[in-house]
């Protein structure tokens, strides 16, 4: 079921209810069973988020190294509150997220599928500017394979 | 005692110092119950698999450092269970604090108040004071209409999972599921879709708190104002046990009453919410004689005499065989027995029936399968849709047979070719064939094929009306006397009687109403208008009442005492739940009185219990049915 | 001491994340050797290596494998790559750097246990790692290392990479199984244990990424070679994730038992900015706090347990003298509140209650009686919840309270966080 929901979300950016019903039909389940599952997992969206989903980790390791400041800074740069989407629909800022497994590069954030580590306000500005200019950004040493050791 | 101790299947569990013997595989919770020790639970339910989510039943077991869930722990020999320790007491108090944390304080306006496990346990085991300095509760939706029958208050929900498990394990429909996660978890249908199930009324009963309530019962009564009478559901012939909850003279609700062999604790919505029919306003309140003139209210004795006189004159003028007697499958066994006595022994007519269609080629085999035995069949064939449509709780038993016992259930349409239907159960050694009486011909053919192939076959035939089976057993048929003794002369069946009324062949009709089996399929009104003399005993203003020359008020099933026989032959007791008017004699009394006025050689007893004794003498298979046992006409071969 | 390394010895070799690059440095020789052995021989090697599960519980791997009922098939292997313990990032690292080493370990375990399907359950947030593993699995299939007739033998095994979707609880093995089956990832009642009735009702083994990544070495070099590292009670090496207030946060592979917390802290460059150590949390967010007095405790299962904590999933979060423990506890409690699956009442409501109280405490508006309430509700949760999530949601906060009672008390009625107020503005 999870891969089916991923396929839907990759296509639409979220899980439209018609698609949930379609997944149910495909898997020979009743729609409520699919809704039970999709609503359980935090990464499935029932509403379309911004084009870029910016998740700032604020768990212990990141918090110890200034994650709150990073989130506040991003909020100012993007002009949105935690959990909100920018007016142009480009960014959704999320500060409530599980530990993203980037504690070695704390503070860190994940934008879409890529991690950005050792954040400073300046680095955040650069990343946001780059995403604004030419999405999607190819990750440098931060993203994907190549976390720190 | 020594025999028990030697039995290999029994083990000894010590509950609060008291040894108790239980079978291997027993849950600690059940062992406690057996020891007479009450363990509070929310999620655990006798009919559902354990999940151990509410934690309310945590107890100390042996030397285990952690408290263990009694509802999900299997007892072992010599196990020591302690439920009254300080550790358990403290935890129960703490757990209730957790459960009440986000629970609204709306007991005064909650339908469940007075019969709520959260209220009860909070009082018994709870902290007794609050220490929350938190002002922000997590809020959810209140009074969500899940359908025209069920209202959900998500805030009152304590997430015991009973309703979702009920929908998963008992009906398989999964209309309610858990959504979201953690403290935000709610029980909800998919995108607010109204519930469609035929079995929604069980939801408020599995719910231990006031989260799921009946729309019909909303704000209508407090449980301590209700009087509870155990009875049988009048909705169909399946024989589900229930409790009739009444307030003064009004039936307020039907509540299920677990009869494991029959209903397994469940009711269908048609049966449950049919309780309103018992409060009809269009009641016949007093006897009325209209013979040849304007209607006059009379005393019972006068009305009965008037009826007997009119009937006697028809008999002397046209002969006994021009009189017909039509009962109803809503009658009790006692009434049916006295009515056929009145027809055969007093009036002397062969034309007696209780339904429209002829009932021929009876074989004891068609009643050979008990409801409980369905689960023991390797393969079950349901012929036609009418059986489940008539007796919906059957569907739950079939699902249980499939899910819990891994049985094969096949459903075939009522117009299928018998050979093809039989192929669905080919190869099975124990076969159950279930049909409505309308499809009994096809069911008999299929069963015969299965028997010929060497299978042992049991049949269950769903009869019409709450006591259609009893009416047949007790000879309210034109071709069988009580006990299926064939009559020398075959009278007119229900449809023939109504046609006779119109053609003039029948001059007088003694009818008991209401008769849903007849009303559904005949122009009853025209027949009643045409017949020269109609004597009606009916509680409501139906077609019989409209055209009768003499009307005697009848009782609803909630006002009767006696027995009814379910489709599988279980003879069960109905009791008087409401007394509408104590001056109203019972139908048995009315019929006996009518018999006496017509000059019966031997008076009939007027008390239902005395009639039942006569039935047991007259019909051997009813001799051993006391306590709700099945009248056995034939066994699974 | 590079020779002592097991898991990370190949990190950084050119092209090692590809099949070709991995095979160039000896990759898949372990699997090639394994298929010439009997499953019993491999289990014996694993048992003699003394390898214990690296997911947190530390259960001996060979013993866990031997719980599978004989001759019951199909069997499944689930690889727990749902790493989400706060402070843990070793699985991501091992996947990023040496995906084929994990895959080889998976295949060795699959061969040993004669499973038909191996599922790698990777958390949804690790999207890039999931895609990397997908690519590696495809390479393995291409090279005949997975799929049908592996390495020319009669043995078939499908390897499926399955992405989670954001739920910490799916790291609990039975919740992982439910999630894999397409259900809400909530823990199951035990017994039956997965070894008897797990995925799709069949015997199932769930092993952690790091655990399995050790297998190529153990098979190739022998269990004894592995057990030479570390001590008899805690054999082998382990990757520790050091984060928080250190100069060089990161993953460090060290032998167990012979290394102390002080050694590990030194490897990570010591406490940052020249500050003093206030506290540290080994094992990940679930585990109890330790103080400077524990620096010389060896990284040994028993020694750390005796100190009142656990090695858990192999993390070390370091906190310097300026840290407010109430704030740290609040964040962890919030995390458990957010991740509670909601199945059982004490965890669902308890983490909510805990979180509310911690926020009041951190803000300095809680009273001392609320602090007593906090202790009380933690006692009502610990050991009473359905699964360890609810139990562990109390461990850090209670251990921190025990170690720093004055700091907790100072918050009561202070109107603000006294630690933050005392902190120099620059910190």
- Ranges of beta strands (E only) in B451-514 are 456-462, 480-481, 485-486, 508-512
Task: Measure B151 CA to nearest chain A CA, in Å.
Answer: 18
- By Cβ distance, the residue of C11, C89, C338 closest to A103 is C89
* Cα B369 from Cα B434, distance rounded (Å): 8
Q: Which domains does chain C have, with CATH numbers?
A: 2-228 (3.40.50.11540), 237-320 (3.10.20.600), 325-422 (1.20.1440.230)
Judged by DSSP in three states, B490 sits in coil
B59: helix, strand or coil:
strand
User: What is the least distance, in Å, from the CA of C189 to any CA of chain B?
Assistant: 7
Write out residues 190-229 of C within 8 Å (CB-CB) of B. Answer: none
The tokens for B357 are 């269609």
- Under a CB-based contact definition with an 8 Å cutoff, are residues C389 and C381 in contact? no
- How many whole angstroms separate alpha carbon C79 and alpha carbon C160? 10
Question: Which segments in chain B show pLDDT lower than 70?
Answer: 1-8, 133-135, 520-522, 580-582, 633-637
Q: Percentage helix, strand, coil, to 5, in chain C? A: 45, 15, 40
DSSP state of B630: B
What does B462-474 look like in DSSP terms, one character per residue?
A: EPSTTTHHHHHHT
Kindly report the nearest CA distance between residue C113 and chain A, in angstroms. Answer: 26
Q: Which among C340, C370, C379 has the least Cβ separation from residue B183? A: C340
DSSP H or E segment with residue B99? helix B86-101
Does A107 touch chain C if contact means CB atoms closer than 8 Å? no
| Closest Cβ opposite residue B99 in set C184, C345, C379 | C345
Asked if B94 and C380 come within 8 Å (Cβ–Cβ), the reply is: yes
ipTM here: 0.94
- Is the four-CA dihedral B145, B147, B152, B154 of positive or negative sign? negative
Buried b (16+ CB within 10 A) or exposed e, B151-165: bbbbbbbbbbbbbbb
C242 interaction partners in chain A (CB closer than 8 Å): 104
CB of C331 within 8 Å of a chain A CB? The answer is yes
Phi and psi for C162 in degrees, rounded to 5?
-120, 125
Which residues of chain B does A34 touch, with a Cβ-Cβ cutoff of 8 Å?
190
Identify the helix (H) or strand (E) that includes residue B205. Answer: helix B203-206
**Interatomic CA distance for residues A25 and C265, integer angstroms:** 54
Position C423 scores a pLDDT of: 82
Taking each helix axis from N to C end, the angle separating C99-113 and C39-49, rounded to the nearest 10 degrees, works out to: 120
What distance in Å separates the CA atoms of residue C161 and residue A2, rounded to the nearest whole number? 12
Q: Do A36 and B178 touch (CB under 8 A)?
A: yes
State residue C158 phi and psi, 5-degree precision.
-90, 140
CB pairs under 8 A between A and B: 38
Which residues of chain B lie closer than 8 angstroms to C377, CB-CB? 94, 97-98
Collect all residues of chain C within an 8 Å Cβ-Cβ radius of residue B67. Answer: 383-384
Q: How far is C92 from chain A (nearest CA, A)?
A: 7
Say if the Cβ atoms of B182 and C339 lie within 8 Å.
Answer: yes
Query: What pLDDT does residue A134 have?
Result: 67
Q: Write out chain A residues lying below 8 Å of B174, CB-based.
A: 30, 32-33
Per-block average pLDDT, block size 10, for chain C (427 residues)? 81 96 97 97 96 92 95 96 95 97 98 97 96 98 97 96 96 97 96 96 97 98 95 94 97 96 97 97 94 97 96 95 97 96 97 96 95 96 96 97 97 94 69
Topology given in CATH for the domain delimited by B2-84: Ubiquitin-like (UB roll) (3.10.20)
Looking at chain B, which residue has its C-alpha nearest residue A24? B190
Q: Which of A19, A28, A32 to mutate to test the interface with B (most CBs of B within 10 A)?
A: A32
Q: Taking every pair of C-alpha atoms in chain A, what is the biggest distance, in angstroms?
A: 51
Q: Residue C381 has which token pair?
A: 């949760």
C 308-347 residues inside an 8 A Cβ radius of B:
337-346
Q: Nearest Cα to B587, choosing from B284, B229, B233, B352?
A: B284
> Based on the number of CB atoms within 10 Å of its own CB, is C8 exposed (0-12), middle (13-18) or buried (19 or more)?
buried
* Backbone CA torsion sign across B531, B535, B538, B540: positive
Task: Determine the Cα–Cα distance for residues C89 and A122; give it in Å rounded to an integer.
Answer: 25
Please state, in angstroms and rounded to a whole number, the distance separating the CA atoms of residues C252 and C263.
11
What's the CA gap between A109 and B103, in Å, rounded?
Answer: 37
> Which of B98, B138, B187 is the best mutation test for C, with the most CBs of C within 10 A?
B98
Q: How far is CA C329 from the centre of its chain?
A: 20
With contacts defined as CB-CB under 8 Å, which chain B residues touch C349? 98-99, 101-102, 183
Contact C164 A2 (CB under 8 A): yes
Distance, CA of C354 to CA of C376 (rounded, Å): 10
- Check if B178 contacts A (Cβ < 8 Å): yes
Beta-carbon separation of C342 and B185 below 8 A: yes
Chains that touch A (3 or more CB pairs under 8 A): B, C
Residue A148 scores a pLDDT above 50: no
Which residues in chain C are closer than 8 Å to B183, comparing Cβ atoms? 337, 340, 342, 348-349, 351-352
**Token couple for C179:** 């999630």
How buried is B285 (Cβ within 10 angstroms: 0-12 exposed, 13-18 middle, 19+ buried)?
exposed
Within an 8 Å CB–CB cutoff, is residue C168 touching chain A? yes
Angle between helices C345-362 and C325-339 (to 10 degrees): 150
End-to-end Cα, chain C, rounded Å: 36
The verdict on a CB contact (< 8 Å) between C182 and A148 is no
pLDDT of the residue at B635: 42
pLDDT value of position B581: 66
Instruction: Give the closest-approach CA distance of B550 to chain A in angstroms.
Output: 56
Closest chain A residue to C343, measured at CA:
A40
Site from A37, A49, A104, A146 to mutate, C interface, most C CB atoms within 10 angstroms = A104
Task: Considering only the beta carbons, identify the residue of A1, A27, A101 that sits closest to C126.
Answer: A101
Task: Give one DSSP letter per residue of C366-415, joined into a string.
Answer: --HHHHHHHHHHHHHHTTTSSSHHHHHTTHHHHHHHHH-HHHHHHHTT-S
Nearest-by-CA chain C residue for A42: C166
List chains adjacent to chain B, taking adjacency as at least 3 C-beta pairs closer than 8 Å.
Answer: A, C
User: What are the residue ranges of helices labelled H in C214-344?
Assistant: 215-221, 223-228, 261-267, 301-306, 325-339
The verdict on a CB contact (< 8 Å) between A106 and C91 is: no
Chain A residue whose CA is closest to C317? A61
Q: Does C340 touch chain A (CB under 8 A)?
A: no
> Please, what is the angle between helix C325-339 and helix C395-403, to 10°?
170
Residues paired with residue C230 on neighbouring β-strands, in sequence order:
C235
A71 to chain B, minimum CA–CA distance in Å?
Answer: 25
Distance from the Cα of A73 to chain B's closest Cα (Å) equals 29
User: Which domains occur in chain A, in start order?
Assistant: 2-38 (no CATH), 52-133 (3.40.30.10)
The fold adopted by the segment(s) B99-214 is Alpha-Beta Plaits (3.30.70)
Mutate to test the interface with A, among B190, B192, B196 (most CBs of A within 10 A): B190
CATH number of the domain at B288-355+468-622, please? 3.40.50.740
B165 at interface of A, judged by CB pairs closer than 8 A: no
> What does the domain layout of chain B look like in residue ranges?
2-84, 99-214, 288-355+468-622, 364-462
H helix or E strand, kind and range, residue B447: helix B440-452
Instruction: For residues C193 and C63, give the distance between their C-alpha atoms in angstroms, rounded to a whole number.
Output: 14
Q: Where are the beta strands (DSSP E) in B143-202?
A: 144-145, 150-152, 177-179, 186-188
Q: Which residue of C has its CA nearest to B178?
A: C184
Residue among A60, A104, A145 minimizing CB distance to C285 = A60
Do residues B432 and B458 lie in contact, with contact meaning Cβ atoms separated by under 8 Å?
yes
Q: Please tell me the distance from the alpha carbon of residue C360 to that of residue C411, in angstroms, as a whole number.
A: 9
For residue A147, give the nearest of C96, C168, C245 by CB distance: C96
- Quick check: B343 and B349 in contact, CB under 8 A? yes
B364-462: CATH architecture: 3-Layer(aba) Sandwich (3.40)
A21-72 per-position pLDDT tens digit: 999 999 999 999 999 999 999 999 999 999 999 999 999 999 999 999 999 9
- Residue-wise over C351-380: b if at least 16 C-beta within 10 A, else e? bbbbbbbbbbbbebbbeeebbebbbebbeb
Using the Cβ of C171 and the Cβ atoms of chain A, whether some distance falls under 8 Å is answered with no
Residue whose C-alpha is closest to residue B331's, from B520, B470, B497: B470
Rounded Cα–Cα distance for residues A130 and A128 (Å):
5
Instruction: Name beta bridge partners: B477.
Output: none
Who's near A137: CB < 8 A, 6+ residues apart? A114, A127, A130, A131
Q: How many CA atoms lie within 13 A of B5 on its CB side?
A: 4
User: CB count, 10 Å around CB of B555?
Assistant: 24
Flag whether residue A90 sits within 8 Å of chain C, measured between CB atoms. Answer: no
Per-residue pLDDT tens over the stretch C177-226 = 999 999 999 999 999 999 999 999 999 999 999 999 999 999 999 999 99
- Residue B597 CB contacts under 8 Å (≥ 6 apart), including other chains: B304, B305, B307, B308, B309
């Amino acid at each position: 079921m999870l891969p089916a929901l991923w396929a839907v979300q990759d296509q639409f950016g979220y899980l439209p209810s018609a698609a949930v019903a379609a997944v149910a039909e495909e898997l020979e389940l009743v729609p409520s069973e699919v809704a039970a599952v999709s609503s359980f997992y935090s990464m499935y969206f029932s509403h379309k988020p911004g084009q870029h989903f910016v998740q700032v980790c604020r768990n212990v390791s990141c918090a110890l190294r200034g994650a709150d400041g990073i989130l506040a800074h991003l909020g100012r740069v993007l002009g949105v509150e935690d959990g909100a989407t920018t007016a142009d629909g480009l960014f959704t800022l999320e500060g409530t997220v599980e530990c993203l497994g980037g504690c070695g590069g704390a503070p860190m954030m994940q934008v879409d599928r890529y991690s950005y580590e050792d954040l400073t306000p300046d680095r955040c500005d650069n990343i946001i500017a780059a995403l604004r200019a030419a999405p999607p950004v190819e990750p440098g040493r931060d993203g994907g394979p190549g976390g720190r050791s | 005692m020594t025999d028990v101790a030697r039995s290999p299947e029994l083990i000894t569990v010590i509950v609060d110092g008291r040894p108790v013997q239980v079978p291997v595989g027993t849950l600690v919770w059940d062992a406690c119950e057996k020891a007479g020790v009450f363990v509070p639970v929310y999620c655990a339910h006798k009919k559902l698999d354990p999940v151990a989510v509410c934690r309310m039943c945590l107890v100390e077991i042996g030397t285990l450092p952690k408290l263990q869930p009694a509802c999900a722990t299997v007892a072992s020999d010599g196990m020591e269970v302690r439920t009254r320790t300080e550790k358990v007491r403290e935890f129960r108090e703490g757990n209730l604090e957790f459960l009440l944390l986000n629970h609204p304080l709306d007991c005064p306006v909650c339908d469940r108040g007075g019969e709520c496990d959260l209220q009860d346990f909070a009082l018994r085991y709870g902290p007794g004071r609050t220490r929350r300095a938190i002002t922000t509760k997590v809020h959810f939706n209140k009074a969500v209409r899940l359908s025209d029958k069920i209202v959900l208050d998500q805030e009152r929900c304590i997430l015991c999972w009973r309703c979702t498990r009920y929908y998963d394990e008992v009906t398989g429909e999964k209309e309610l599921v858990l959504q979201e996660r953690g403290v935000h978890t709610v029980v909800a249908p998919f995108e607010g879709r109204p519930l469609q199930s035929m079995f929604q009324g069980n939801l408020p009963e599995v719910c231990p708190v006031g989260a799921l309530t009946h729309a019909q019962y909303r704000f209508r009564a407090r449980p301590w104002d209700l009087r509870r009478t155990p009875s049988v559901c009048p909705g169909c012939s399946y024989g589900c046990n229930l409790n009739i909850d009444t307030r003064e003279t009004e039936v307020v609700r039907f509540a299920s009453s677990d009869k494991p062999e029959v209903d397994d604790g469940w009711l269908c919505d048609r049966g449950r919410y049919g309780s309103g029919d018992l409060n009809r306003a269009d009641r016949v309140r007093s006897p009325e004689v209209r013979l040849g003139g304007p209607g006059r209210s009379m005393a019972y004795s006068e009305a009965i005499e008037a009826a007997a006189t009119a009937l006697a004159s028809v008999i002397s003028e046209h002969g006994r065989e021009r009189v017909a007697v039509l009962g109803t499958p809503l009658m009790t066994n006692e009434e049916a027995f006295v009515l056929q006595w009145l027809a055969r022994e007093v009036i002397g007519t062969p034309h007696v029936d209780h339904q429209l269609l002829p009932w021929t080629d009876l074989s004891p085999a068609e009643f050979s399968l008990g409801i409980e035995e369905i689960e023991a069949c390797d393969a079950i064939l349901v012929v036609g849709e009418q059986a489940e449509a008539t007796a919906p709780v059957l569907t739950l038993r079939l699902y249980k047979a499939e899910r819990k016992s891994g049985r094969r259930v096949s459903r075939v349409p009522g117009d299928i070719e018998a050979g093809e239907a039989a192929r669905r159960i080919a190869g099975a050694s124990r076969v159950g064939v279930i049909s409505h009486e309308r499809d009994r011909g096809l069911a008999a053919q299929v069963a015969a094929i299965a028997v010929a192939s060497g299978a042992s076959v049991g049949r269950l035939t769903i009869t019409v009306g709450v006591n259609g089976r009893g009416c047949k057993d007790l000879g309210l048929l034109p071709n069988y006397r009580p006990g299926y003794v064939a009559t020398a002369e075959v009278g007119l069946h229900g449809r023939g009687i109504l046609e006779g009324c119109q053609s003039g062949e029948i001059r007088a009709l003694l009818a008991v109403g209401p008769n849903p089996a007849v009303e559904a399929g005949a122009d009853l009104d025209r027949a009643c208008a045409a017949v020269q003399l109609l004597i009606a005993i009916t509680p409501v203003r139906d077609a019989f009442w409209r055209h009768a020359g003499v009307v005697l008020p009848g009782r609803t099933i909630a006002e009767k005492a006696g027995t009814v026989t379910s489709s599988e032959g279980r003879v069960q007791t109905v009791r008087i739940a409401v007394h509408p008017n104590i001056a109203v004699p019972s139908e048995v009394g009315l019929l006996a009185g009518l018999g006496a006025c017509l000059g019966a050689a031997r008076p009939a007893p007027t008390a239902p219990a005395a009639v039942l004794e006569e039935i047991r003498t007259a019909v051997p298979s009813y001799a051993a049915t006391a306590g709700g046992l099945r009248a056995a006409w034939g066994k699974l071969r | 001491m590079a020779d002592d390394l097991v898991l990370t010895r190949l990190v950084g070799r050119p092209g090692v994340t590809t099949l070709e690059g991995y095979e160039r440095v000896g990759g898949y020789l372990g699997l090639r050797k394994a298929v010439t052995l009997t499953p019993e021989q491999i289990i014996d090697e694993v048992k003699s290596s003394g390898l214990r599960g690296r997911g947190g519980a530390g259960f001996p791997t060979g013993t866990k494998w031997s719980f599978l009922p004989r001759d019951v098939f199909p069997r499944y292997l689930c690889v727990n790559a749902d790493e989400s313990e706060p402070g843990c990032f070793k699985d991501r690292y091992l996947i990023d750097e040496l995906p084929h080493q994990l895959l080889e370990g998976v295949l060795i375990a699959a061969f040993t246990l004669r499973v038909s399907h191996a599922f790698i359950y990777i958390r949804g947030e690790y999207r890039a790692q999931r895609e990397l593993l997908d690519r590696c699995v495809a390479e393995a299939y291409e090279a005949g290392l997975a799929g049908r007739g592996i390495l020319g033998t009669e043995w078939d095994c499908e390897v499926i990479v399955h992405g989670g979707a954001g739920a910490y609880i799916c790291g609990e093995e039975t919740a992982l199984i439910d999630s894999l089956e397409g259900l809400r990832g909530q823990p199951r009642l035990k017994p039956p244990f997965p070894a008897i009735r797990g995925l799709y009702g069949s015997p199932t083994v769930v092993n952690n990424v790091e655990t399995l990544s050790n297998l190529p070495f153990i098979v190739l070099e022998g269990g004894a070679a592995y057990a030479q590292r570390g001590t008899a009670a805690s054999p082998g090496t382990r990757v520790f994730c050091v984060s928080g207030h250190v100069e060089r946060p990161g993953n460090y592979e060290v032998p167990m038992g012979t290394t102390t917390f002080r050694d590990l802290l030194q490897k990570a460059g010591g406490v940052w900015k020249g500050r003093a150590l206030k506290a540290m949390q080994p094992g990940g967010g679930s585990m109890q706090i330790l103080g400077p007095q524990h620096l010389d405790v060896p990284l040994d299962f028993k020694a750390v347990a005796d100190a009142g904590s656990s090695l858990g999933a192999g993390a070390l979060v370091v906190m310097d003298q300026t840290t407010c423990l109430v704030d740290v506890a609040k964040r962890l409690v919030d995390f458990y509140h957010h991740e509670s699956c909601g199945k059982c009442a004490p965890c669902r409501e308890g983490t909510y209650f805990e979180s509310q109280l911690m926020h009041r405490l951190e803000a300095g508006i809680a009273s001392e009686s609320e602090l007593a309430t906090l202790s009380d509700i933690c006692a009502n949760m610990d050991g009473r919840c359905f699964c360890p999530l609810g139990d562990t949601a109390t461990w850090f906060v209670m251990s921190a309270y025990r170690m720093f009672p004055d700091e907790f008390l100072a918050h009561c009625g202070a109107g603000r966080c006294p630690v933050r107020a005392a902190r120099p503005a620059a910190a």
